[in-house]
Amino acid sequence: MRLYVNIDHVATIREARRTDEPDPVRAAVLVELAGADGITVHLREDRRHIQDRDVRLLAETCRTVLNLEVAAEEEVVSVATEISPFQVTLVPERREEVTTEGGLDLASPQVRERVARAVERLRDAGIRVSLFIDPSSEVVEASVELGVEAVEFHTGEYANAQTPEERERELERLRAASVLAVESGLAAHAGHGLTYENVAPVAAIPQLEELNIGHAIISRSVLVGMDRAVREMRQAMDRGRREPHR
Ligand code: PXP
């Protein structure tokens, strides 16, 4: 199972002072040296954390792979096609949100149309495309029709579950959606709200091949350093894979 580390919040600290440190490009080097399989950044339309300069430099300097998250909007999709990262993950985006709040609403004809246009442009540029979606069969089927290579399941509902029953229900949705995705020929990824404490049951889902984790790792890195923060997440994932969670 691959671990892609989302380093947006290194840039959040930098932007708190609109200065040049800490530099996410330097952070990416440490993340890679600690054994992560990829670097993820979200170029938001309001550029609240990651800047165009970061994405350009990361595309040049990453020794693993760069997974660029963008909304299905002309301007940021253009940046993606220019930079040509290994993978683009299309995400929904609302200006007023603190973080991404859910998967792409592919039941909406307008959203689906916008996503279809973005997918076409990215695929024409030879970029692998993943869609950030909720773990439901309808949205997996819609993603298959859009002709993408992968889907990333939103684990936010699982992470926010208040009771063991709710948590188990969300895990079951993730398991069923992962099986359907793989049976339909899509690669299955997951992420959002995953922590050292809650990652194991998600890592145990055998169909999932990639996790995108940001806030928990960057937060821990402030206290223990990036190397240890990444390695400890890797260990938590590996423990999850080894232990049965059913
Ligand atoms: N996956 C996607 C599509 C996201 O938008 C984010 C947050 O930017 C993450 C994963 C990582 O979420 P977290 O920071 O909660 O680990």
Task: Count the neighbouring beta carbons within 10 Å of the beta carbon of residue 208.
Answer: 26
CATH, residue 168: 3.20.20.70
State pLDDT tens for residues 9-25. 999 999 999 999 999 99
pTM: 0.96
Please tell me the predicted confidence (pLDDT) of residue 101.
77
Q: Look at residue 205 and tell me if it is in a domain.
A: yes
Q: 81 CA distance to ligand 1 centroid (A)?
A: 21
Q: Look at residue 16 and tell me if it is in a domain.
A: no
Q: 213 CA distance to ligand 1 centroid (A)?
A: 6
Q: 103 CA distance to ligand 1 centroid (A)?
A: 11
Q: Look at residue 64 and tell me if it is in a domain.
A: no
State pLDDT tens for residues 93-106. 887 777 777 899 99
pLDDT band at 183 (very low <50, low <70, confident <90, very high): very high
Q: Look at residue 112 and tell me if it is in a domain.
A: yes
Q: Look at residue 21 and tell me if it is in a domain.
A: no
Please tell me the predicted confidence (pLDDT) of residue 97.
77
69 CA: nearest ligand 1 atom: 3
State pLDDT tens for residues 187-244. 999 999 999 999 999 999 999 999 999 999 999 999 999 999 999 999 999 999 998 6
pLDDT band at 83 (very low <50, low <70, confident <90, very high): very high
Q: Look at residue 98 and tell me if it is in a domain.
A: yes
Domain count, the chain: 1
Residue 99 near ligand 1, beta carbon < 6 Å: yes
Residue 87 near ligand 1, beta carbon < 6 Å: no
Q: Look at residue 55 and tell me if it is in a domain.
A: no
Q: Look at residue 236 and tell me if it is in a domain.
A: yes
Determine phi and psi for 5, rounding to 5 degrees: -100, 125
Residue from 212, 213, 220 whose mutation best tests the ligand 1 pocket (most atoms within 8 A of CB): 212
Give residue 145's domain range. Answer: 70-242
Please tell me the predicted confidence (pLDDT) of residue 163.
97
